[in-house]
């Protein structure tokens, strides 16, 4: 689950400078999150889908991720059309489904999917370390950059630690049930995980000090902005600007 | 619980973003450079712990542990939780860029609250006080998070009222579980490594 499934590939999107991907993903997310006109949302979805197509992401994997987001949306569909004030379309006794409620739910569904698909194509197609590096260039505070680096670096290590612990309780015939024994076992497991992590972080820090760490991070690979990147940036930002104009300009 | 992208209204997103920026700012200022690795590795531990599913009757719930995060990290919980959520957004699109602020505030503010409410009880010498305080720490963390999620939905539109109610209701059983787990976990930490909770031997 914590593997970077989409991050490695050799398509135009994968080769794009991560700084550009972050800027476009942020601009697109913000515009779509605030937008509410259907023409805008209808124009936004193809943008996301085209990006996914260019990145040649595995369709099954994309759909699987969309399914998770849409379970939340599904609950909205159960509740919103019934509770939204407006003209009733159908009614059974006290319950009535309103036209406005359906429109509102449809808007949310389209917004949510457009943003998630775009972020899959733009953010998940870069290794996390390059994204963090890019955020550093985009002036994110140093401490936050360090936190992101370390946190992601150690998630896999801690997860292996966790798997070792769960194997240890499994070979002792542990079977999770709804009882105090299960909850106690899980709490001790979490406690052990926290202690091991705390100890490890101290060793890591000491090792860094030994190697002359003075608060500066040296990065070995550098980004270079090529003409292609700038063209891609302008095209995508123009598209987003177009969406914003369609929403707030006096075109429609 | 994450709120998906595209659901909340612009004012809610903006207020969430501003509060998160302020809180994370305070958190970063209170986190010295030599503490960064510890905060980061603990937040990876909480990231991994949040993938644990604990059985509850016929279903299972995943752990949140924001009360415990607050207890261990204080204000540093703000950036720690932000980092965890940012990674979830990048790695598997749980939440996203625009909801990052709201989701961070919803999870991390209760964590900081728990730190101030319960930290002094957790360091008490009486075992019963520690156990009870830890239970409430876990429960309150989740409950306030649920309330904040409900508020974010409600302030987006009043038609979300039912959804908001359901969110709070759904958090009640999780409250109990988080309370029990936090209680056991704190008891364990007190026995094995009291320093991590700020207790001097």
- Beta strands in A21-75, from DSSP E residues, in sequence order: none
**In 10 A of CB A72, how many CB atoms?**
17
Q: State chain A's maximal CA–CA distance in angstroms.
A: 74
At residue A214, the pLDDT reads 82
Phi/psi of residue A249, nearest 5 degrees? -70, 175
Render pLDDT for A55-78 as a digit per residue (tens, 0 to 9): 999 999 999 999 988 988 898 888
Say yes or no: B93 contacts chain A, CB-CB below 8 A.
Answer: yes
Given a cut of 80, whether residue A53 has pLDDT beyond it is yes
Tell whether B5 is covered by a domain.
Answer: no
| Per-residue model confidence as pLDDT tens digits over A143-173 | 999 999 999 999 999 999 999 999 999 999 9
Interface probe for A, chosen from B7, B10, B42, B44 (most Cβ of A below 10 Å), is: B44
What are A95's strand-pairing partners? Answer: A92
Residues of B178-192 as b/e, b for ≥16 C-beta within 10 angstroms? bbbbbbbbbbbbbee
Confidence bin at A1 (pLDDT 50/70/90): low
- Least CB-CB distance to A124: which of B52, B90, B184? B90
**Average pLDDT in chain A:** 90
Query: How sure is the predictor about B1, in pLDDT bands with cuts at 50, 70 and 90?
Result: low
Supply the pLDDT for residue B55: 87
Chain A residue at shortest CA distance from B87: A152
The nearest CA of chain A is from the CA of B92 a distance in Å of 7
pLDDT at B199 over 70: yes
Three-state DSSP state, A89: strand
pLDDT at A252 over 80: no
Q: How confident is the model at residue A105 (pLDDT cuts 50, 70, 90)?
A: very high
Give burial (CB, 10 Å; 0-12/13-18/19+) of A83: middle
* Measured distance CA(A41)–CA(A61) in Å, rounded: 23
CATH number at residue B155: 1.10.1760.20
What's the mean pLDDT in A172-189? Answer: 93
pLDDT above 80: residue B133: yes
Residue B32 resides in a domain: yes
Residue B1 lies in a domain: no
Domain range holding B17?
A: 10-197
Cα–Cα distance, B105 to B22 (Å, whole number): 10
Q: Which has the minimum average pLDDT: A83-87, A127-131, A237-241? A: A83-87
B 35-54 residues with CB below 8 A of A? 36-45, 47-49, 51-52, 54
Q: How far apart are CA B150 and CA B8, in angstroms?
A: 11
Q: How many CB atoms lie within 10 A of CB B12?
A: 21
> Quick check: is B2 in a domain?
no
Per-residue pLDDT, averaged over B138-142, amounts to 96
B163 touches chain A (CB under 8 A): yes
How many domains, in total, are found in chain B? 1
| Cα A247 to Cα B10: distance, rounded to the nearest angstrom | 14
Helix (H) or strand (E) holding A96: strand A95-98
Domain assignment present for B4: no
Q: Which strand (E) or helix (H) includes residue B52?
A: none
Mean pLDDT of A125-129: 92
């Amino acid at each position: 689950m914590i593997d970077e499934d989409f991050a490695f590939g050799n398509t135009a999107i994968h080769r794009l400078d991560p700084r550009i991907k972050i800027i476009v993903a942020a601009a697109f997310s913000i515009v779509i999150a605030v937008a509410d006109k259907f023409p805008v949302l209808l124009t936004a979805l193809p943008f996301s889908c085209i990006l996914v197509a260019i990145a040649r992401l595995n369709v099954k994997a994309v759909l699987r991720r969309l399914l998770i987001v849409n379970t939340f949306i599904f609950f909205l569909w159960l509740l919103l059309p019934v509770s939204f004030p407006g003209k009733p379309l159908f009614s059974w006794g006290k319950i009535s489904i309103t036209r406005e409620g359906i429109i509102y739910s449809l808007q949310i569904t389209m917004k949510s999917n457009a943003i998630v698909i775009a972020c899959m194509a733009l953010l998940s197609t870069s290794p996390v370390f390059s994204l963090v590096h890019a955020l550093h260039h985009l002036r994110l505070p140093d401490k936050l950059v360090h936190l992101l680096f370390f946190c992601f670096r150690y998630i896999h290590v801690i997860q292996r630690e966790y798997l070792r612990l769960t194997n240890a309780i499994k070979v002792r015939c542990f079977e999770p049930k709804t009882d105090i024994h299960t909850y106690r076992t899980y709490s001790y497991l979490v406690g052990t995980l926290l202690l091991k992590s705390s100890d490890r972080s101290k060793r890591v820090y000491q090792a860094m000090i030994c190697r002359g760490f003075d608060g500066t991070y040296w990065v070995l690979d550098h980004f270079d902005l090529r003409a292609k990147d700038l063209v891609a940036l302008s095209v995508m930002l123009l598209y987003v600007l177009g969406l914003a104009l369609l929403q707030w300009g006096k075109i429609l | 619980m994450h709120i998906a992208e595209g659901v909340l209204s612009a004012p809610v997103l903006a207020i969430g973003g501003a509060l998160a920026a302020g809180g994370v700012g305070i958190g970063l200022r209170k986190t010295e450079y030599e503490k960064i690795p510890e905060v980061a590795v603990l937040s990876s531990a909480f990231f991994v712990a949040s993938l644990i599913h604990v059985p509850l009757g016929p279903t299972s719930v995943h752990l949140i542990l924001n009360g415990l995060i607050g207890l261990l990290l204080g204000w540093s919980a703000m950036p720690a939780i932000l980092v965890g959520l940012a990674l979830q957004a990048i790695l598997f699109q749980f939440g996203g860029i625009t909801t990052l602020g709201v989701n961070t505030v919803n999870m991390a503010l209760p964590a900081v609250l728990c730190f101030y409410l319960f930290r002094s009880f957790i360091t008490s010498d009486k075992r019963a006080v520690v156990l009870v305080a830890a239970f409430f720490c876990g429960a309150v963390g989740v409950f306030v998070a649920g309330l904040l999620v409900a508020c974010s939905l409600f302030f987006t539109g009043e038609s979300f009222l039912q959804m908001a109610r359901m969110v709070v209701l759904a958090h009640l059983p999780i409250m109990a579980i988080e309370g029990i787990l936090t209680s056991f976990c704190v008891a364990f930490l007190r026995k094995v490594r009291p320093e991590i909770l700020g207790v001097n031997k």
